[in-house]
Structure 1
């Protein structure tokens, strides 16, 4: 199976977003760099690891689920009790088949358990990203900010604008970033709505997993 053209544009240095032990968000090292564990490169669709719709992270505190048309790339999943990292992309990008949805790459990082951790304000997302931001908002427990530069450094052929978000789930801070091709609606206002969809998918899957465990 062949990936659509976007995946051929993804650079090997695709970076995630980490949360430090103090609860601060920070950029993860580029894939393949020292300390990165080689994470960040999406699966080869000819490989053995098939994309999946959901995966349990950090001992079940968070279940990463993808919105309709998007899949979790299992090759990018790293998880232990202290935190987790994974990437989402459209199922069509990862497998060559699936619903026709807007191409995008989403990084998801889960921080250590901290029941007292507070959500960073939108301004902190911009400051820690080291880029100007606008269209920042906090709604329904999800903090979002649209970065005005840096997206094309992460995604070759990508829009300079990209979105970051953060919310709490299972006593942990979860950070998101969505990167899209140049001119994509997901780099504009639709990016915030998409982050809300990702957050709802994670929240719903995590609640169902908790209910099943308690049942």
Structure 2
């Protein structure tokens, strides 16, 4: 996949969109089925924020938060780390970029700009990249992150039944997430998605 095409695809996944919502009756469901049939199931302690999860055009973006916080119930499950997880899924099936292509893209100026909140490559430092079979993981630091958000984020990108998926973990500035905790949280969510969509 050429860098220009990859840039467009990843920008859509990373930035997401807001428009028509999903038809869900519970306040904090643990899973949701997208219009394209993909099931976004949350890992333990996480639930779907139906007020901010949206599907538009080529991409659906599902926001996951603490079940206890979303349900307003202190007895409900909560994740081991504070923060927010987003799951972005391409609506149409296609050929996903390989982990090597993703690594090449994200260490480039265009890739770092796609990760930056302000769109400037110089705002982002790539702290770590990992390739595990068909899974690509990166840890980045964005100096233009929103107030209250940790500048350090984790992302996993992979193919899920023919659709390109991005899972992102955002921490809080006053409660940063450690490296091992961040990776474990990210990998648990990836495993949950794969299991929920196993044919």
The Cα offsets for residues 168-205 of structure 1, whole Å up to 9 and x where unpaired, read as: 11211001211112364635332122111111111111
Matched, 1:132 2:125: yes
Q: Tell me if 1:147 matches 2:140.
A: yes
Distance 1:192 1:183, change over 3 A: farther
C-alpha deviation, 1:165, in angstroms: 1.8
8 Å CA contact 1:185–1:191 kept in 2: the answer is: no
| Contact kept? 1:59, 1:81, Cα under 8 Å | no
Identify the residue that residue 99 of structure 1 maps to in structure 2. Answer: 77
Could you list the runs of 5+ residues in structure 2 that have no partner in the other structure?
A: 116-120
Give the alignment of 1:152-167 within 5 angstroms. Answer: 153-154=145-146, 156-167=147-158
Q: RMSD across aligned C-alpha pairs, in angstroms? A: 2.9
Q: Contact between 1:58 and 1:80, CA under 8 Å: does it hold in 2?
A: no
Give the conservation status (yes or no) of the 8 Å contact 2:153–2:171.
Answer: yes
Q: C-alpha distance in 2, partners of 1:158/1:22? A: 24
Q: 1:21 and 1:78, CA in 2 relative to 1: closer, same or farther beyond 3 A?
A: farther
| Structure 2 CA distance for aligned equivalents of residues 171 and 146 of structure 1 | 25
Once the two structures are superposed, residues 123-161 of structure 1 have per-residue CA deviations (whole angstroms, 9 ceiling, x without a partner) of: 4235231311122101142211111124x723x322211
- Tell me how far apart the structure 1 counterparts of residues 18 and 92 of structure 2 sit (CA, whole Å): 21
2:118 aligned partner: none
User: Structure 1 length normalisation: TM-score?
Assistant: 0.68
Aligned pairs, how many? 173
Q: Distance in 2 between matches of 1:124 and 1:187?
A: 25
